[in-house]
Structure 1
Amino acid sequence: MPKMTVKYPLITNMNSKSPISEAYKALRTNIEFSNVDRELKCIMFTSSQQGEGKSTTAANVAVAFAQTNRKVLLLDCDLRRPTQHHIFNISNQVGLTSYLSHQADLSEIMVSTSIPNLSVVLSGPVPPNPSELLASKRMTGLLNELREQYDMIIVDTPPIMAVTDSQIVATKCDGVLLVLDSGTVKREVALMAKQKLELVNAKILGVVLNKMSKKNTNSYYYYYGNRE
């Protein structure tokens, strides 16, 4: 598979020493130490609503893990409004939906990036039945197979308040991070998003507060570990 060129907003790749990149690295470290009892190999990212930065956060965290010489896969499970193909500037004609609908083999949907140790599986064409595809045995089997091939799997999913897709995927992952826009999200919405994840017994690792106002930066990311 040919290597693809990465464009903005992958700041962790463009400027690994910037304050925002350092925040992503801090998030990576907190993920690593968030659970000492079991291995966290498949981490899901979601948000409460559209536009809170969960796809950008997932992509940059994937890059941050790849920079530690681990074999990393970024899996775009947002089958309704996918973003990762824009972030990585890759064609989305073939992807996860192609595999789940038996139209492509796994080898056909794996894409190597120009970033060492990082591969991506894009969402593929938007299907008429996203929830059913994600809940399928073929999806479960895929994740099990990918766990054997990669050190870390980062999963991008739709906003939790919009559709049930994220709840479905959460049951198949080792942990979940909830990305919230600190400037716009309301407390009650954030609590409802958390409750939806708890309803399916998702392992909530913490919350990423996005776009916090900081001196000399336009956006900032901080991680709050789950203290329950």
Structure 2
Amino acid sequence: MALKKKKTQTSSSRKLITAVAPKNAISEQYRTIRTNIQYSSIDGEMRTMMVTSAGPGEGKSTTAANLAVTFSQLGKKVLLVDADLRKPTVHHTFQVNNIYGFTTVLTKQTTLEKAVLKSQEDDLFILTSGPIPPNPAELLSSKSMEQFIMDAKEMFDYVIFDTPPLLAVADPQIIANQCDGSVLVVYSEKTEIDQAKKSKELLQNAQSKLLGVVLNHKEIKNNDYYYYYGTYGTK
């Protein structure tokens, strides 16, 4: 998602359109995605979910952040976890420090309670990546990860993981196997069909429930904005 550049807006505020302009058409699309996720949980509430993409630069981090905002706007306690332990961005988006975070909790250097940061949005909390580890996949496969999810579910209504691209590393498959569902972001006219199909297969191999696919960067002109919104579905 992108907006026409304006001098009065920072890069982070443009990414968090659901927070700075909740009545904007783009924000409404994110709320539609949120609603579709809620309706997809017929067999049980989707409390833990991950957002990923086939490759880099396809908008998965922006999607994860805005989804987290929209869920918090329901009055639910939401934790956004930066689980991209190779190229983390959540601390930039929310303009918070990254001294402690996900990795320091998993390695038991600090507790989840101490590492979580309150965002400027009501009911939205941030867990940055923390220091980048030498062994992300092993860390995510550890018993500490299982304990982390249990602890997070006790403290929050929803836990949303922003993960690396599926075709780049094994990390998102590991996380997908431990979450209630996954959202795949694809970039209009950039993500190749074969890449999207391969990503879906990887999620299926991880026994993850694919909640839907967000089509990002579909350009529509509307007044001063160039905005992009996603159709949502599992096909």
For 1:208, which of 214, 219, 223 is the aligned residue?
Answer: 214
Report sequence identity in percent. 45
Judge conservation of contact 1:8–1:87 (CA < 8 Å) in 2: no
1:178 equivalent in alignment to 2:179:
no
Contact 1:34 1:205 in 2 (8 A): yes
Report Cα offsets for 1:134-187 as digits up to 9, x if no partner: 111111111111111111111100000000000000011000000010121111
Structure 2 gap segments, 5+ residues each: 1-11
The question of 1:62 aligning with 2:68 is answered yes
Instruction: Give the distance between the partners of 1:75 and 1:26, measured in 2 at CA.
Output: 22
Question: What is the Cα deviation at residue 119 of structure 1?
Answer: 0.4
Which residue of 1 is the match for residue 232 of structure 2? 224
Letter paired with 1:61: L
- Asked whether the 8 Å contact 2:176–2:208 carries over to 1, the reply is yes
1:206–1:223 contact (8 Å) kept in structure 2: no
Runs of 4+ that moved beyond 4 A:
none
Q: Which residue number in structure 1 is paired with residue 130 of structure 2?
A: 124
Please name the residue that 2:100 is paired with.
94
Letter in 2 for 1:136: S
CA distance in 2 between counterparts of 1:50 and 1:219 reads 20
CA contact (8 A) 1:204 1:226 kept: yes
State how far apart, in whole Å, the 1-side matches of 2:17 and 2:214 are: 17
State the Cα deviation string for residues 119-145 of structure 1 (Å, max 9, x = none): 011100111000011111111111111
Deviations 1:197-228 (A, max 9, x none): 1111111011000000213242322242336x
Deviation at 1:107, TM superposition (A): 2.0
Task: Give, as a single letter, the amino acid of the residue that structure 2 aligns with 1:38.
Answer: G
TM-score (norm 1): 0.94
Among candidates 153, 175, 185, match of residue 147 of structure 1 = 153
User: Which residue of the other structure, out of 191, 194, 197, is the alignment partner of 1:191?
Assistant: 197
Which residue of 2 is the match for residue 33 of structure 1? Answer: 39
1:15-45 superposed Cα distances (whole Å, 9 cap, x missing partner): 0011100100111111110121111100110
More divergent stretch after superposition (101-110 vs 33-42):
101-110
Query: How many pairs align?
Result: 222
- Return the alpha-carbon distance in structure 2 between the equivalents of residues 149 and 102 of structure 1: 18
Structure 1: runs of 5 or more not aligned: 1-5
In structure 2, what is the Cα distance between the partners aligned to 1:223 and 1:37? Answer: 23
Give yes or no for contact 1:211–1:218 (8 Å, CA) kept in 2.
no
Alignment of 1:74 onto 2:86? no
Tell me, yes or no, if the aligned pair for 1:7 and 1:89 is still in contact at 8 Å.
no
- SS of aligned partner of 1:141: helix
CA distance in 1, matches of 2:183, 2:100: 27
CA distance in 1 between counterparts of 2:231 and 2:138 reads: 32
CA distance in 1, matches of 2:226, 2:168: 27
